[in-house]
């Protein structure tokens, strides 16, 4: 490059993309995955009872008693409460046990070897931004290198050792751009549908049936659940996701009889963004998704509390890792 203005613009743009890429990559790697809170862990007496009792109705009773006040709505394939026998806890919705980390991860998406970390509730936004900025970084390099790459093939470049660098840089940036664009596009689709990679391969199972769109609240709310309500933070790798990772708004086709029912005989059917969400979570979230007039209804929950978790004989314990 010979033009000073062109040099300045390219250097400034390059370093902006580079710093955002490194920042988001760093946050993805070093943000610790969130684990279920203590409310989901079995008490010492419950663990003893579970180990002492034979597999059957007695163990079912222990798990029902442990899970009756928890905001869980997903089940195993056999209809059992999702229980991790390695962490000794009742799994929150969308939580899975990572065999690499050997712990349960909230809203686990996958374990990524490229960042040597689990991608889950605590760092999913950082992972998305890492993909976005690495893609922009590679596209910028390929675009600024393209004219010199063309000159290389048309013998328009001076005869220097920089020829090899120009050729290698363009091929490397272009190939990474292709792979990153497909991966980034896939995760954009996941965000729009409010799904994780694991939920695509195995749809969440609620009490009534399997529902692959059970957590989808519509595009706008799905986006805000990952990026937050304040748009000024959307493009920065700072944590702004909504909720606590232990409980999520859901669009149930039929009310789960194991949980407190909504007042007034309201039907929790998902239609046109009018979502009636499950009972109140363990910790109130400041999220508008979880605190608007359509969400987390707890009127009459006390009246139903004594009956929760005691009426479904179909629930059987199933260890799931």
Active site (annotated) includes residue 138: no
CB 288 within 8 Å of CB 243: no
- Residues 292 and 305: their CA atoms lie apart, in Å, by 23
- What is the Rg, in whole angstroms, of the alpha carbon atoms belonging to the chain? 25
H-type alpha helices, the chain: 4-30, 44-52, 57-67, 124-153, 162-193, 197-201, 219-227, 288-291, 301-305
Q: Which strands sit side by side in the sheet containing 89-90, from one edge to the other? A: 89-90, 82-84, 318-319
Characterise 210 by phi-psi region: left (phi > 0), alpha (psi -120 to 50), beta (else).
beta
Asked if residues 124 and 241 have their Cβ atoms less than 8 Å apart, the reply is yes
- Match 């370093």 to its residue by tokens: 15
Return the bridge partners of 274, or none: 271
The three-state (H, E, C) secondary structure of 251-305, written as one string? CCCCCCCCCCCCHHHCCCCCECCECCCCCCCCCCCCCHHHHCCCCCCCCCHHHHH
Q: Of these residues, 10, 98, 101, 112, which one is catalytic? A: 112
C-alpha to C-alpha distance for 186 and 191, rounded to whole angstroms: 9
Residue 118's beta-bridge partner residues?
Answer: 111
Which sequence positions are flagged as catalytic? 112
């Amino acid at each position: 490059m010979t033009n000073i203005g062109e040099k300045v613009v390219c250097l400034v743009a390059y370093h902006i993309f580079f710093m955002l890429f490194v920042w988001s990559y760093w946050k993805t790697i070093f943000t610790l995955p969130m684990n279920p809170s203590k409310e989901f862990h079995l008490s010492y007496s419950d663990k003893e009872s579970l180990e002492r009792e034979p597999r059957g109705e007695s163990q079912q009773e222990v798990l029902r008693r442990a899970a009756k006040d928890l905001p869980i709505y997903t089940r195993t394939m056999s209809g059992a409460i999702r229980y991790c026998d390695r962490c000794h806890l009742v799994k929150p919705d969308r939580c899975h046990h990572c065999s690499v980390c050997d712990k349960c991860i909230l809203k686990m998406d996958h374990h990524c070897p490229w960042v040597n970390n689990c991608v889950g509730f605590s760092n999913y936004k950082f992972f998305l931004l890492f993909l976005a900025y690495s893609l922009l970084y590679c596209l910028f390099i390929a675009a600024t290198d393209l004219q010199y790459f063309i000159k290389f093939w048309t013998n328009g470049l001076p005869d220097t050792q920089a020829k090899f660098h120009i050729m290698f840089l363009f091929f490397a940036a272009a190939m990474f751009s292709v792979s990153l664009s497909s991966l980034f596009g896939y995760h954009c689709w996941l965000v729009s549908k409010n799904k994780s990679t694991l939920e695509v391969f195995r749809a969440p199972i609620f009490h009534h049936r399997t529902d692959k769109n059970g957590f989808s609240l519509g595009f706008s709310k799905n986006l805000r659940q990952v990026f937050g309500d304040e748009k000024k933070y959307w493009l920065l790798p700072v944590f702004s996701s909504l909720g606590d990772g232990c409980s999520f708004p859901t669009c149930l086709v039929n009310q789960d009889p194991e949980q407190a029912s909504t007042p007034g005989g309201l039907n929790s059917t998902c239609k046109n963004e009018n979502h009636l969400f499950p009972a109140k979570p363990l910790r109130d979230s400041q999220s508008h998704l979880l605190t608007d007039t359509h969400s987390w209804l707890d009127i009459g929950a006390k009246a139903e509390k004594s009956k929760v978790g005691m009426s479904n004989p179909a629930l059987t314990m199933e260890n799931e890792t």
